[in-house]
């Protein structure tokens, strides 16, 4: 039999020490409640745990009860009653217990219920623990969760949370609404319906890599709107959430809509790439092909450019990502050209020069646009969903269109797509315009080049100071220069005869004012010193640089011909004059004999013959004068006399031969001049004869003299047919007659030439003022004679 052994005194003491020490070290508040006396005993932890000092803690149930949080009191009481009365061995409850400081701590209280042999509870032996820290953490976590959900619901981003293994355990409202997915377990989500096929594989690969490596996840992809089926660009990001040990506990992901920014940058990139292509060559048909290719499939499924050629729209470029479809569409287009008489689509854009925008192409829209069954079937086949047609405008004229069409992508163009399309059209217009200008310039340059190289005319670039910048071989040959001479420098001023330098100076002045010079005659001095007569026409090429382009024609042959003509006129008139003088002599003898005979009739005939001989004589004299002037052989016999003397004498002489007009004289300067009297008479007679001849309906002519600025001015005024303004500069040229009146009035066109030459030889000037149908005033000015 085994003898029951009792613990020794020492052993009991040890147990007691444990009992005292362990709870203190473990921070366990131990209490012992005697139900009968209601006395509660506490161990010392009550002081450290709740901050009470000795004396503040009472050994009673009431004290404990008093310190339970008022809101928890009932629940704690009820649970105690229930535990005690139900025969349970263990009671446990969480409640708030008042600290000495007045604040409450979350505590968990657990007790063993000791019962007597009848099962009646007599004592509760309990352990109380402060769990405030844990409670606060739990509370915060709860609050965080609430805050997160609130935040997730209120921001525009699509948000999701996944477990470390990638299982999606949370999506915010926005995500669910955008994707419009129906699922109870996230493993059932059909991601293929959400992520664009072009981005699907990449997205998963990246996600798997992140799950493996713990690296952040980032991607730009298109996600499908589950309701509208439209794809939009999103920036997808996910970051791992790690615990204090660095272990990933969750993945937090966002999808931010970057569609607008993405399109803007996409458009900008597209437009700048298009600009680069367009600027790369002047062969715009080739560049346009590259531009439409650039637009598919990112901007549109189809892109095409048509240009007007001979009143019809020609397809210049067409692109689709599938080359087979391009071939098909081109073939189709050749059999079905667009009908430009319609009031929709391409035709309307061509007519109005404004864009046509069809963001959503509905069945009705298609049906309204055409009745042609073939076309309808075709549109159905292509599956049009959206379209933009923008005009290509050059110099205010619509010369073509750019079409963007969306079909299989089901994309609907937006306002900003249209802006981009119009931006492209502007760039295309510029490119075409530039190419056209370049083409024109090229043509002009080619024409000029062939002229330059043709050797039928001299072409030179000079500076107004005479420096020869470049010259074709015709010009160099004409002046006897070589290319080498040109390289060494030629100045055309030095190649101009001294007597023409003043004129040259005036020409340059005119060139600087009007920018051009009508062809004029001049001479150049050749390298060998001989002279070459030329006609020069010039235009100012560059006012700043004073560069002039001139055409120079060698007129040596013409001059020789003229010279021969002058010589002929000289000889002919000389040869005619000798027999005429003899005829005149015989007529005068005849006249005398007839006068003596007293036959009046014969007398009249002889007198008339005499008048015509005089006319013939003066004509021949004039012709002789012309040839003398050309040869520079006109002699002048100067005397000093009063101008009025000559004028009055001449008026008398002319008036005696005409009855149709009365010649009035105004003025009287009493000024003397030094001149050839006969030649001056010749000038006046000429002007008076013209005044009579060219004013057949008038009956008066006025001659006036004035003295102004040391000049004597004589003018002859008629009220006749007048002279067109454009004819005036040529009037004093040899043999020049105004064509409009030449048939009506007989003449040779040399009178004014001789007159102006005579006046010029006297250092005077001659000019005319005239108005058609109102009359003319011919004037000349001569320097007054100053007695020494």
Binder of ligand ADP out of 345, 391, 400, 751 (CB under 6 A)? 751
**Smallest gap, in angstroms, from Cβ of residue 774 to ligand ADP?**
10
Residue number with CB closer to ligand ADP (466 or 747): 747
**Smallest gap, in angstroms, from Cβ of residue 456 to ligand ADP?**
33
Binder of ligand ADP out of 232, 679, 737, 762 (CB under 6 A)? 737
213-219 contact pairs (CB < 8 A, 24+) = 214/240, 214/248, 216/240, 217/251, 217/253
Strands (E), 208-271: 217-224, 231-242, 248-257
Instruction: Pick the piece of the chain touching ligand ADP (CB under 6 A) from 111-119, 247-255, 665-673, 734-742.
Output: 734-742
Q: Does position 721 bind ligand ADP by CB under 6 A?
A: yes
Restricted to residues 539-598, the positions that interact with ligand ADP (CB under 6 A) are: none
Q: Does position 46 bind ligand ADP by CB under 6 A?
A: no
**Smallest gap, in angstroms, from Cβ of residue 735 to ligand ADP?**
8
Residue number with CB closer to ligand ADP (320 or 737): 737
Instruction: Pick the piece of the chain touching ligand ADP (CB under 6 A) from 329-337, 465-473, 649-657, 745-753.
Output: 745-753
Listed residue (62, 14, 60, 19) closest to 43, CA to CA: 19
Beta bridge partners of residue 639, listed in sequence order: 675
Which residue in this structure is represented by tokens 């009579």? 692
Strand order in the sheet with 765-771: 662-666, 700-708, 711-717, 775-783, 765-771
Q: Does position 748 bind ligand ADP by CB under 6 A?
A: yes
Residue with the shortest CB distance to ligand ADP: 747
Residue number with CB closer to ligand ADP (492 or 684): 684
Residue number with CB closer to ligand ADP (606 or 647): 647
Q: Give the span between the Cα atoms of 765 and 757, in whole angstroms.
A: 9
**Smallest gap, in angstroms, from Cβ of residue 752 to ligand ADP?**
3
Listed residue (647, 660, 653, 590) closest to 618, CA to CA: 653
Instruction: Pick the piece of the chain touching ligand ADP (CB under 6 A) from 183-191, 277-285, 666-674, 733-741.
Output: 733-741
Helix axes 284-295, 259-280, angle to 10 degrees: 160
Instruction: Pick the piece of the chain touching ligand ADP (CB under 6 A) from 36-44, 300-308, 536-544, 746-754.
Output: 746-754
Instruction: Reduce the DSSP state of residue 622 to 3 states and report it.
Output: helix
**Smallest gap, in angstroms, from Cβ of residue 552 to ligand ADP?**
30
Beta bridge partners of residue 392, listed in sequence order: 400
Compute CA distances 766 → 232, 247, 721, 759, whole Å.
Answer: 87, 113, 20, 7
Residue number with CB closer to ligand ADP (597 or 748): 748
**Smallest gap, in angstroms, from Cβ of residue 778 to ligand ADP?**
6
Can you list the alpha helix ranges (DSSP code H) found in 370-463? 373-382, 415-454
Q: Give the span between the Cα atoms of 274 and 448, in whole angstroms.
A: 34
Binder of ligand ADP out of 466, 533, 747, 783 (CB under 6 A)? 747
Instruction: Pick the piece of the chain touching ligand ADP (CB under 6 A) from 68-76, 122-130, 632-640, 749-757.
Output: 749-757
Which string of x and - marks every residue 613-652 that binds ligand ADP (by CB under 6 A)? ----------------------------------------
Q: Does position 360 bind ligand ADP by CB under 6 A?
A: no
**Smallest gap, in angstroms, from Cβ of residue 775 to ligand ADP?**
7
**Smallest gap, in angstroms, from Cβ of residue 773 to ligand ADP?**
10
Specify whether the CB–CB gap between 154 and 148 falls below 8 A: no
Q: Are strands 662-666 and 700-708 parallel, antiparallel or unpaired?
A: parallel
CA angle (127 as vertex; 121, 128 as ends), nearest 5: 120
Q: Give the span between the Cα atoms of 232 and 222, in whole angstroms.
A: 5
Binder of ligand ADP out of 319, 552, 752, 782 (CB under 6 A)? 752
**Smallest gap, in angstroms, from Cβ of residue 610 to ligand ADP?**
22
Q: Does position 757 bind ligand ADP by CB under 6 A?
A: no
Residue number with CB closer to ligand ADP (570 or 751): 751
Beta bridge partners of residue 357, listed in sequence order: 388
Instruction: Pick the piece of the chain touching ligand ADP (CB under 6 A) from 84-92, 168-176, 453-461, 689-697.
Output: 689-697
Residue number with CB closer to ligand ADP (462 or 719): 719
Q: Give the span between the Cα atoms of 535 and 653, in whole angstroms.
A: 43
Q: Give the span between the Cα atoms of 304 and 295, in whole angstroms.
A: 9
Q: Give the span between the Cα atoms of 26 and 19, in whole angstroms.
A: 11
Restricted to residues 308-347, the positions that interact with ligand ADP (CB under 6 A) are: none
Q: Give the span between the Cα atoms of 157 and 175, in whole angstroms.
A: 8
Residue number with CB closer to ligand ADP (127 or 721): 721
Number of residues located near ligand ADP, criterion CB under 6 A: 19
Instruction: Pick the piece of the chain touching ligand ADP (CB under 6 A) from 147-155, 359-367, 603-611, 686-694.
Output: 686-694
Which structure tokens are listed for 95? Answer: 């409640």
Which residue in this structure is represented by tokens 């005033």? 777
Report the residue count for the chain: 788
Listed residue (160, 151, 155) closest to 191, CA to CA: 160
Listed residue (713, 639, 716) closest to 673, CA to CA: 639
Residue number with CB closer to ligand ADP (460 or 768): 768
Restricted to residues 690-709, the positions that interact with ligand ADP (CB under 6 A) are: 690-691, 694
Residue number with CB closer to ligand ADP (208 or 614): 614
Q: Give the span between the Cα atoms of 308 and 292, in whole angstroms.
A: 17
Binder of ligand ADP out of 316, 718, 757, 780 (CB under 6 A)? 718
Q: Give the span between the Cα atoms of 337 and 374, in whole angstroms.
A: 13
Residue number with CB closer to ligand ADP (424 or 687): 687
Which structure tokens are listed for 161? Answer: 């949370």
Contacts of 321 (CB under 8 A, 6+ apart): 296, 297, 301
Instruction: Reduce the DSSP state of residue 496 to 3 states and report it.
Output: coil
**Smallest gap, in angstroms, from Cβ of residue 656 to ligand ADP?**
20
**Smallest gap, in angstroms, from Cβ of residue 687 to ligand ADP?**
7
Binder of ligand ADP out of 349, 624, 723, 759 (CB under 6 A)? 723
Q: Footprint of ligand ADP on this chain (CB under 6 A)? A: 690-691, 694, 718, 720-721, 723, 731, 737-738, 741, 747-753, 776
């Amino acid at each position: 039999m085994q003898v029951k052994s009792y613990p020794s005194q020492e052993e009991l003491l040890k147990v007691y020490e444990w009992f005292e020490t362990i709870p203190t070290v473990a921070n366990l508040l131990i209490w012992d409640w005697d139900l009968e006396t209601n006395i509660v005993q506490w161990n010392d932890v009550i002081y450290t745990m709740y901050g009470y000092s000795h004396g503040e803690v009472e050994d009673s149930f009431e004290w404990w009860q008093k310190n339970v949080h008022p809101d928890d009191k009932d629940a704690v009481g009820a649970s105690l009653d229930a535990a005690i009365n139900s025969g349970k061995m263990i009671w446990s409850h969480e409640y708030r217990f008042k600290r000495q400081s007045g604040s409450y701590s979350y505590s968990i209280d657990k007790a063993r219920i000791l019962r007597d042999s009848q099962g009646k509870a007599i004592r509760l032996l309990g352990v109380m623990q402060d769990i405030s820290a844990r409670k606060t953490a739990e509370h915060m976590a709860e609050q965080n969760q609430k805050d997160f959900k609130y935040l997730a619901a209120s921001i525009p981003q699509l948000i999701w949370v996944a477990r470390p293994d990638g299982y999606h355990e949370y999506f915010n409202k926005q995500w669910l609404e955008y994707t419009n997915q129906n699922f109870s377990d996230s493993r059932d989500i059909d991601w293929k319906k959400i992520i664009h096929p072009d981005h699907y594989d990449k997205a998963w690969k990246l996600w798997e890599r992140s799950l493996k490596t713990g690296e952040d996840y980032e991607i730009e992809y298109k996600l499908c709107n589950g309701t509208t089926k439209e794809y939009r660009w999103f920036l997808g990001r996910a970051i791992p959430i790690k615990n204090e040990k660095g272990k990933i506990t969750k993945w937090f992901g966002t999808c931010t809509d970057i569609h607008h920014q993405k399109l803007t940058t996409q458009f900008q990139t597209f437009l700048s790439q298009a600009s680069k292509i367009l600027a790369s060559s002047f062969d715009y048909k080739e560049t346009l092909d590259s531009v439409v290719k650039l637009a598919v499939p990112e901007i549109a499924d189809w892109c095409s450019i048509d240009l007007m050629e001979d009143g019809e729209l020609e397809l210049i470029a067409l692109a689709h990502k599938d080359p087979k479809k391009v071939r098909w569409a081109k073939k189709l287009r050749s059999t079905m050209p667009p009908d430009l008489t319609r009031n929709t689509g391409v035709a309307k854009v061509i007519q109005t020069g404004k864009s046509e925008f069809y963001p959503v192409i509905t069945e009705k829209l298609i049906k309204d646009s055409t009745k042609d069954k073939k076309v309808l079937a075709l549109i159905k086949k292509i599956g049009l969903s959206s379209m933009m047609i923008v005009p290509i405008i050059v110099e205010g004229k619509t010369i073509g269109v750019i079409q963007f069409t969306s079909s299989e992508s089901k994309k609907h163009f937006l306002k900003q797509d249209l802006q981009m399309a119009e931006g492209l059209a502007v760039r295309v217009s510029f490119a075409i315009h530039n190419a056209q200008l370049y083409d024109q310039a090229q043509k002009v340059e080619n024409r000029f080049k062939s002229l330059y190289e043709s050797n039928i005319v001299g072409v030179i670039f000079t500076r107004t100071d005479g420096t020869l910048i470049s010259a074709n071989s015709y010009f160099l040959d004409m002046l006897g220069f070589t290319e080498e001479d040109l390289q060494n420098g030629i100045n055309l001023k030095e190649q101009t005869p001294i007597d023409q330098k003043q004129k040259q100076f005036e020409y340059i002045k005119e060139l600087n004012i009007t920018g051009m010079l009508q062809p004029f005659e001049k001479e150049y001095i050749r390298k060998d010193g001989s002279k070459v007569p030329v006609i020069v026409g010039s235009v100012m090429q560059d006012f700043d640089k004073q560069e002039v382009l001139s055409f120079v024609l060698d007129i040596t042959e013409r001059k020789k011909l003229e010279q021969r003509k002058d010589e002929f006129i000289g000889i002919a008139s000389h040869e005619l004059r000798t027999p005429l003088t003899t005829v005149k002599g015989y007529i005068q003898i005849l006249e005398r004999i007839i006068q003596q005979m007293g036959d009046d009739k014969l007398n009249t005939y002889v007198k008339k013959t005499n008048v015509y001989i005089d006319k013939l004589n003066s004509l021949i004299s004039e012709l002789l004068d012309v040839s003398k002037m050309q040869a520079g052989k006109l002699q002048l016999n100067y005397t000093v006399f009063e101008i009025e003397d000559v004028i009055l004498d001449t008026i008398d002489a002319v008036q005696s031969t005409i009855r149709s007009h009365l010649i009035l004289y105004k003025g009287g300067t009493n000024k003397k001049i030094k001149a050839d009297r006969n030649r001056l008479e010749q000038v006046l007679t000429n002007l008076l004869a013209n005044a009579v001849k060219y004013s057949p309906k008038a009956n008066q002519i006025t001659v006036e003299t004035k003295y102004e600025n040391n000049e004597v001015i004589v003018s002859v005024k008629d009220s006749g047919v007048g002279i067109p303004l454009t004819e005036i500069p040529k009037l004093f040229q040899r043999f020049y007659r105004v064509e409009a009146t030449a048939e009506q009035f007989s003449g040779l066109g040399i009178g004014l030439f001789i007159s102006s030459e005579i006046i010029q030889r006297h250092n005077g000037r001659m000019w005319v003022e005239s108005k058609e149908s109102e009359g003319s005033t011919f004037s000349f000015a001569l320097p007054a004679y100053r007695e020494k």
